[in-house]
Copies of this chain bind each other. A is one copy, B any other.
Amino acid sequence: MKISIGKKTILFTHPVLIIGSYDMDFNPDIAAVAWGGICCSEPPSVAISLRKSRLTYENIMLNKAFTVNIPSREQVGSADYSGVYSGRDEDKFAATGLTPVNSGIVSAPYIKEYPLSMLCKLSHTIEIGIHTQFIGEILDVLVNDDILNEEGLPDISKARPIIYDSVSRSYFGIDEMISKAYIRVKK
Contact = CB atoms under 8 A, between A and B. Distances in A.
Contact of A133 (B40, B42, B83, B179): B40
A176 B162 CA distance: 10
B179 A80 contact: yes
A108 interface: no
What's the number of copies of this chain in the assembled complex?
Answer: 2
Interface in A115-158: 116-118, 123-124, 126, 128-131, 133, 135, 138-145, 148-149, 152-156
A77 B180 CA distance: 10
Contacts of A148: 3
Interface residues on A, range: 35 or more
Contact of A43 (B1, B36, B129): B129
Given A128-B123, A129-B43, A140-B4, A12 B156 contact: yes
Contacts of A10: 116, 141, 153-154
Nearest to A169: B181
A46 interface: yes
A16 B35 CA distance: 15
